[in-house]
Structure 1
C-alpha cells in the first residue's frame, strides 16, 4: 500500500519520516516519530508496532531487538512491513512474506526505505539513492525529492492518493507535521504545503519552546522581521504565494 523513507539529518540531527501511498491518510497511519527515533509501520499495518516500538526505541532499545520482538509476537507478521531507526541511529527493517508484490526494503547508514504494492524494486532504489545524492538540499526538500524520484520510478502500482511528512528536531513534539489525505497528486500537494509553510509557519516553528528552552522566543518583533525578509525575497524572485488562505471579507 505504501513506500516510505526514514532519515536522520547529519547536519542538525533532525529525524524525518515521509510516506506516500494509494491509501487514504497514510500520513496518519504509518509514521511514529519521536525526539531520537522513528518507526514506519505499513502494509497490513499494526499501529502498535508504531506506538510500542517508538516508546521502546526512545527508551534506548535497539531497532533490531525491538523489531525482532514485534515480529515474534504478532500472528499477522506475514502481512506486516516496518522499518525503524533507534536512538543511536541504527536501522532495522522487515517485509513479511505475504506483503503484496513488489515488496521490499533497503537500509543504509543514515536512512532506510521500505515499500509494498510497488511497481518494482526501482521505486525503493530510486528513493534511497536520490536521498543519498541530494546532499545540498535542505532536509525537508531532500526527503521530498527522494520520494518524488520513487514516484517517477513507478511508485505505488495502484496509483496515488495520500502522503505525509513528519520531522522532529530533538523534541518529542514535531517541528513539521504535514499530511495530504486524499489528492490526485499528493506529493506535489505536499510540496505546495511546504512552500506555504516556508512563508510563515517555519519561522514560527523556529521560535517554539523546547524542553531546553521552556519559553522559546516569544518576541514577535524578531519573528515578524524574519517573515518580512522572506516575503521580500520571494517577491524579488517573482514567486507568488501558493497559499489558498483568504483575507477577511
Structure 2
C-alpha cells in the first residue's frame, strides 16, 4: 500500500505531502492540498474523493480531529487511511481496523504520518522522528528526508514503484511570510514508475532547487545573466545539461570565453546541435554575433 507524511511549515504556512507506494503513479491519487485550508493523504481503501471531502470540511471550519471523526463514520472507513493536517496546524489520522498490516500512524502539531502494508512496524513513528530531526532543512527537503527514513525501514512490503512530493504556499497576496521572508514556491514532483522512487524523488528535488536558481539567473529578457545564481545551480546539479548550458551562455555573453570553454565543449559533446543553437541565438539577436562566432570557432577547434 502506502506511506505518506502530511505537514505544515509553521514559519511559512506552506502545506506539503510526500508519499511512496508499490502502485503506479501514487502522486495522482494520494496527495490532496488546498492553499490556506489543509493537506490530506488518502490511501488504503479510501476513495480519492474523500480527499476533496476532507478539504471541504476543513474549509467549512471543522478541525482536523473533527474531520477525522466524520470520515471515520463513512461506509468503508474501516479499510481506509487518511492523514489530515489543517492550515492551523491541527493534525489527525484515520486508520481503519481492516487496513492491511503492518499499519502505523503518528501525529503531532503540524505533522502526521500514515503507513500500511509496511515490512516492519513503527514506520510512522520513525518518519515523524526523521522529520523533526531535519528542522534545519527547507520544508520540502524535510518531507523527502522523512519519506527516505520510511523507505530505509523497508517501505511497502510488495516493493517500490512510485513516489511524489507536493507543496503549496498559503493563499496570500503578498507572497511573503509574516516575517517578510519570501515563500518557497509550489512544488509538484512525481516519480510514477522506478526501481528506486524515493531516491529518484530526491534527485528531482535537487533539480527543482537548481532550476529555481536558473530562473533567478535570468534577466528581464529571459537571458541567463546572474552568474552567482548559476554557480549556485552548478553546486547542486553539476551534471545537468540545462545548468551546464546556462553557464556556457552566460559566460559567453559576459565575454569570458576562456571560462565558458569547458561548459561549451561539454554541452556540444552531449548535444550535437549546440552549434545550431548558437547560430540561431546570434541570428535572433539574443547572443552577440562576435561572441557567438568565437564560441563556434572554439567548438570547431580540437581541444588542446
Shift of 1:60: 2.3
1:200 paired with 2:203, answer no
The higher radius of gyration belongs to 2
Distance 1:32 1:39 in 2: 5
Distance 2:225 2:44 in 1: 45
- The structure with the greater share of residues assigned to helix is 2
Distance 2:214 2:35 in 1: 20
Provide the TM-score with structure 2 as the length reference: 0.69
RMSD (Å), alpha carbons:
2.8
Quick one: which of 193, 199, 208 aligns to 1:188?
Answer: 199
Provide the TM-score with structure 1 as the length reference: 0.84
Distance 1:102 1:138 in 2: 30
Distance 1:108 1:89 in 2: 9
Matches within 5 A, 1:211-222: 220=220
In structure 2, the residue matched to 1:215 is none
Q: Could you tell me whether the CA contact under 8 Å between 1:130 and 1:149 is conserved in 2?
A: yes
Matches within 5 A, 1:223-242: 224-225=224-225, 228-235=227-234, 239-241=238-240
In structure 2, the residue matched to 1:46 is 47
Q: Could you tell me whether the CA contact under 8 Å between 1:39 and 1:54 is conserved in 2?
A: yes
Query: Aligned in 2, Cα 1:236/1:179: closer, same or farther, shift over 3 Å?
Result: closer
Distance 1:94 1:88 in 2: 19
Q: Could you tell me whether the CA contact under 8 Å between 1:163 and 1:190 is conserved in 2?
A: yes
Query: Aligned in 2, Cα 1:188/1:93: closer, same or farther, shift over 3 Å?
Result: same
Q: Could you tell me whether the CA contact under 8 Å between 1:101 and 1:117 is conserved in 2?
A: yes
Q: Could you tell me whether the CA contact under 8 Å between 1:16 and 1:167 is conserved in 2?
A: yes
Q: Could you tell me whether the CA contact under 8 Å between 2:104 and 2:121 is conserved in 1?
A: yes
Q: String of CA shifts for 1:109-151, please: whole Å, max 9, x gaps.
A: 2211110000122322221101011111111111111111111
Q: String of CA shifts for 1:145-190, please: whole Å, max 9, x gaps.
A: 1111111112111110000011011139x71111111111111111
Query: Aligned in 2, Cα 1:60/1:247: closer, same or farther, shift over 3 Å?
Result: farther
Query: Aligned in 2, Cα 1:229/1:58: closer, same or farther, shift over 3 Å?
Result: farther
Q: String of CA shifts for 1:214-242, please: whole Å, max 9, x gaps.
A: xxxx973699556x433223446883227
Matches within 5 A, 1:68-217: 68-72=69-73, 74-171=74-171, 175-201=186-212, 204=215
- Where in structure 1 are there 5+ consecutive unaligned residues? 207-217
Q: Could you tell me whether the CA contact under 8 Å between 2:210 and 2:234 is conserved in 1?
A: no
In structure 1, the residue matched to 2:62 is 61
Q: Could you tell me whether the CA contact under 8 Å between 1:35 and 1:58 is conserved in 2?
A: no
Count of aligned positions: 234
In structure 2, the residue matched to 1:214 is none
**Secondary structure at the counterpart of residue 39 of structure 1:** strand
In structure 2, the residue matched to 1:4 is 4
**Secondary structure at the counterpart of residue 42 of structure 1:** strand
Q: String of CA shifts for 1:68-98, please: whole Å, max 9, x gaps.
A: 22221x2211110111112321111111111
Distance 1:111 1:146 in 2: 11
